[in-house]
Structure 1
């Protein structure tokens, strides 16, 4: 989430959301076209003990994250016809880095509230945090979608869902197919997020061409984070299902909104 690729002044493709909850026990900040999120620290890693098939815990994590994504996509489609779709224009129109920081703050706070609710056994608090996360991604996505003709909205969302699902499946297959730790992917994701924020900040005021570089870095950060979160689900079998569901959801949603921008640009280029 950097700028507005659909307008010469601010290529929206560079507008990328960022989130950062890359590790459950540590907190370091990062931001992307969505701002700062709690990052991860190092913790003890180990070789994974592969088992054939998915466990019931893994199925619950996948099902929960998929459900949250379904709600998010539905809200994007609903919000595009409301004033919420103009939020991106105000934020990124003022300065791309402002949009990054505002969305990042929303995701950071939402994730923090959700985690505290889960750890404290307060499902009401966890629900509030999760709603904040879903709304942050949905409002951003609606803003992106608003640049396309209404008759193409379902097509764009459908293609984005398919591409994101295929990408997630590819990363999952890679992680599950290798008996090694992927903790370093979390660290690399943090570096990509932080680098993206710095580049977007510079591009917002000096070199607009850097906004695209920032978008690429943040997109890469979400892809790496997705691999990290999948590894956690694979190896951290005693971790909270709710926390892992939130982690996977944030990573997938971050990838989704970036793919959404690319798909929308492609569809518009065909007109």
Structure 2
């Protein structure tokens, strides 16, 4: 398959599965993104095996167990809980009712761009603020790029990120369908940002934060790491001057923390990392 077709094909498969399940099953909207993602994952695994960006990134570094637990268990549970809390909080508290009268797609785009704007600035700030950086370092401590470290986060980082990302859903009284769609698009594109797949997106990388861009964000070089902060879209990096695309830098990439810092590969070690390193 042409490297130019791979990204839109895989992302398209993810949303085809989502809409197929939405149309022809009686699945709860809350469960729909998770079930769709599990059906989508084998496609990513196939392409990682068939068209790896780097063969060595498909080799287990002792990190696989912890990454799978955080990506497939901890992350969905925490984000689902946060979503429910923000959707069902008291309607009288700081909510703008005008958006609930809009169509699904009007609501979606309002929430999407507001969420991405808030996330961009939080993510950028988390690379500077010492306490937040200790939590976020768990994600950046991955020694390779592949599908399962898309959800490799410290639980505190997950909670803060997703509270911020879902604030617009709550504020604008967006429908649960909008929340489910937002969860699905973050899951699909987030997996593709980290996936060990060789593809080229050309113009799509001026809207989506693809692996060509996000892999650079995992560089131990601080100047490179402090680029490409977007979650789904890269638009705010383009606007605020933090966009970077360099195939040469990506080809030579060895992911990890700066200054040769070591991140444990086991889950308990990662959970303890921000606290045992609190004075370092």
TM bucket normalised to smaller:
0.3 to 0.5
Q: Quick check: which has more Rg, 1 or 2? A: 2
Query: What is the TM-score when the length of structure 2 is the normalising length?
Result: 0.36
Query: What is the TM-score when the length of structure 1 is the normalising length?
Result: 0.37
